[in-house]
Amino acid sequence: MAKRWAVAATDALKADGLRIGELDTSGRPGFTGDKKAGTELLAERALVLSDLQEKLYANGRSGDKRGVLLVLQGMDTAGKGGIVRHVIGSVDPQGVDHAAFGVPTPEEKRHHFLWRIRKALPRAGQLGVFDRSHYEDVLVVRVHNLVPPTVWEPRYDEINAFERELVGEGITLVKVALFISLDEQKKRLSERLNRPDKYWKFSAADIDERAFWPDYQEAYQAIVDRTSTELAPWYVLPADHKWYSRLAVTELLIDAFERLQLDWPPAKFDVEEQKRRLAQA
Amino acid sequence: MAKRWAVAATDALKADGLRIGELDTSGRPGFTGDKKAGTELLAERALVLSDLQEKLYANGRSGDKRGVLLVLQGMDTAGKGGIVRHVIGSVDPQGVDHAAFGVPTPEEKRHHFLWRIRKALPRAGQLGVFDRSHYEDVLVVRVHNLVPPTVWEPRYDEINAFERELVGEGITLVKVALFISLDEQKKRLSERLNRPDKYWKFSAADIDERAFWPDYQEAYQAIVDRTSTELAPWYVLPADHKWYSRLAVTELLIDAFERLQLDWPPAKFDVEEQKRRLAQA
């Protein structure tokens, strides 16, 4: 366990039995340090993550079919983009398959909700990142009744079956839901309205969505209750402190990579013979 | 012009009239500093690049169709991967569309050589990176006679027409060819054979290719002579010093972004009205 964690992030953040409404979004479960300690540790652990990712990539190039997929969910301004930038940004871009899922296109709408997801799955040896995901189809879709309950209700089981399939194919899922308080969101939206270099991140719809906060909490609760499985557990992250959520995601990813027990792939050639050939070439 | 550059990288590295065979691969054209100065400057300029890339991304999200595409070519071990890791790795992964082109798949072989290239073009607002590219079809293909000259010969014109089309669509091309000496390559291949954590990067074919060095030089010369255009010039980089080539690519990218004259996109909403709405939400 990394230093300053009294309880490993994987244990401290597992969603089991958690009531979303009771979550302290300003908490830092498991971590005993302050912001300074957390930021320093993040820089250190980013190097560990980067090394592990390179090992996965190397194995992928050598025939290993496995991959890791980070699924990020959270309300607007919860910090998904910052995690991509500051956590995923610390590893080699060659090894990252990033996909963001917005409002479905007309073509996507004509297909099963998992169609666009399947097309974006990480390739062998890659670290996949989903900025929003198939869970939108039981979140925004459920909250706004974009389809009737008879359509979204069976999706929880479909998602579990889908994720079981992914795990069977060798993909380690790291599912992370970020939670901020309604007040913290107001602060962050306000920043976007006060800084011209942030206008582009703002949408009037983000304010509309605030009225549906309790409905979203209920929809997130359903996700945690029904799709946090042994094979693909949810991690629930208090995200009012950006430094904490970034550090926590880094630890969750490191844990996922370490469970793959990666080593450098062995040479598929006779090393001494190739050295002799190179000497003469 | 960034400090310590006596001549801007764009001028010092432009391919115009260059004889590849006469290139000093250990040179640092235009740069007056040493490795320490270059490494420090790289860290500084990476932040500038990152800010510019965020502006492009922001504009892309606001309807701007433009993009930047870095095309990387070079012999094995020339440092393409290191540039992706250390230069492209300094910007937000969300804004990067990375594609590596290896031996064409059977499906790719059934199509025109630009088919797989078109599918991988950067989306609006993105920084695209091609690790190898359509130029492989007049490099390895020409050197090994994988298709007859009647097929590869017209490709130079096809490439120029294709790139003219890209520029017309708003894509700024930054074409970079990295050159190392035969000795430097031997050193780098030898390192891959001496470090078990590098075995995965080695292929026996890399040694075979050394016998074709003069043919590759000729094929690169043809590229520079025939496809370095006003709209899409080639930059030829001496790459024996990794720190230099990384710094130089950073400067070339910064120049490309600066020519787009990007500003933060204006608000598409009434800022004061949204502030009032937020206060009440």
Distance CA A153, CA A221 (A): 14
Distance CA B64, CA B223 (A): 31
Give per-residue pLDDT as tens, B145-157.
999 999 999 999 9
Give contacts of A204 with chain B, Cβ < 8 Å. 269, 274, 277
**Lookup: tokens for A32:** 């005993």
What pLDDT, on a 0 to 100 scale, did the predictor assign at position A219? 98
Give contacts of A93 with chain B, Cβ < 8 Å. 84-85, 88-89, 93, 96, 98, 129
pTM assigned to the model? 0.96
Hey, which residues does A179 pair with through a beta bridge?
Answer: A238
Class of residue B225 by CB neighbours under 10 A (exposed 0-12, middle 13-18, buried 19+): middle
Nearest by CB: A93 against B96, B197, B267: B96
Prediction ipTM score: 0.94
A2 falls in which pLDDT band (50, 70, 90)? low
Task: Tell me the shortest Cα–Cα distance from B122 to chain A, in angstroms.
Answer: 13
Please give the mean pLDDT across all residues of chain A: 96
**Start-to-end Cα distance in chain B:** 48
| Dihedral Cα B42, B45, B46, B50, nearest 10 deg | -170
Interchain CB distance below 8 Å, A211 and B281: yes
pLDDT, average across residues A43-54: 97
Q: Tens digit of pLDDT per residue, chain B (281 long)? A: 557 999 999 999 999 889 999 999 999 999 999 999 999 999 999 999 999 999 999 999 999 999 999 999 999 999 999 999 999 999 999 999 999 999 999 999 999 999 999 999 999 999 999 999 999 999 999 999 999 999 999 999 999 999 999 999 999 999 999 999 999 999 999 999 999 999 999 999 999 999 999 999 999 999 999 999 999 999 999 999 999 999 999 999 999 999 999 999 999 999 999 999 999 99
**Start-to-end Cα distance in chain A:** 48
Give contacts of A269 with chain B, Cβ < 8 Å. 202, 204
Give per-residue pLDDT as tens, A55-90.
999 999 999 999 999 999 999 999 999 999 999 999
Name the helix (H) or strand (E) containing A258: helix A242-259
Give per-residue pLDDT as tens, A87-101.
999 999 999 999 999
> CA dist A7 to A4, A10, A14, A267, Å?
9, 8, 11, 39
Regarding beta strands B171-179 and B67-74, do their DSSP bridges make them parallel or antiparallel, or are they unpaired?
Answer: parallel
Query: What does residue A190 show for φ and ψ, rounded to 5 degrees?
Result: -60, -40
